[in-house]
Amino acid sequence: MTYKNLLVHIDDTKACVGRIDAAVALAQAHEAHLTALYVALEPDLPTYFEGQIPREILEEQRVQADRSAHIAAETFQATLKNNGLSGECRVARAADA
């Protein structure tokens, strides 16, 4: 059985490099397309508490999550290019619960 589509979770931890390296090795071995997924976490706040936090603070958290996702995606794209692989990076939003 050969793998043609692989998914790797990326983030801004030290362990991410190892995950990407393993995914690249698998993609090369199977001539597979490699997709990275970055999950941008949003605070999971009770509705009665969310109204107490200024919108600017919540928006700044979203901007920071987007910035981190962008940096991780650029690093992943550079890795793809350096290894001659096809791939893409996707970002999903999820509550940090």
**Integer CA distances (angstroms), 36 to 45, 54, 85, in order:** 28, 33, 12
Neighbours of 59 (CB within 10 A): 10
Closest CA to 23 of 81, 78, 85, 74: 85
CATH for 5-96 is: 3.40.50.620
Residue-wise pLDDT for 3-56, tens only, equals 799 999 999 899 999 999 999 999 999 999 999 999 998 877 777 777 788 888
Please tell me what DSSP assigns to residue 14. T
Kindly give, in sequence order, each residue whose CB lies less than 8 Å from that of residue 61, ignoring residues fewer than 6 positions away.
42, 43
pLDDT higher than threshold 80 for residue 96: no
pLDDT of residue 70: 94
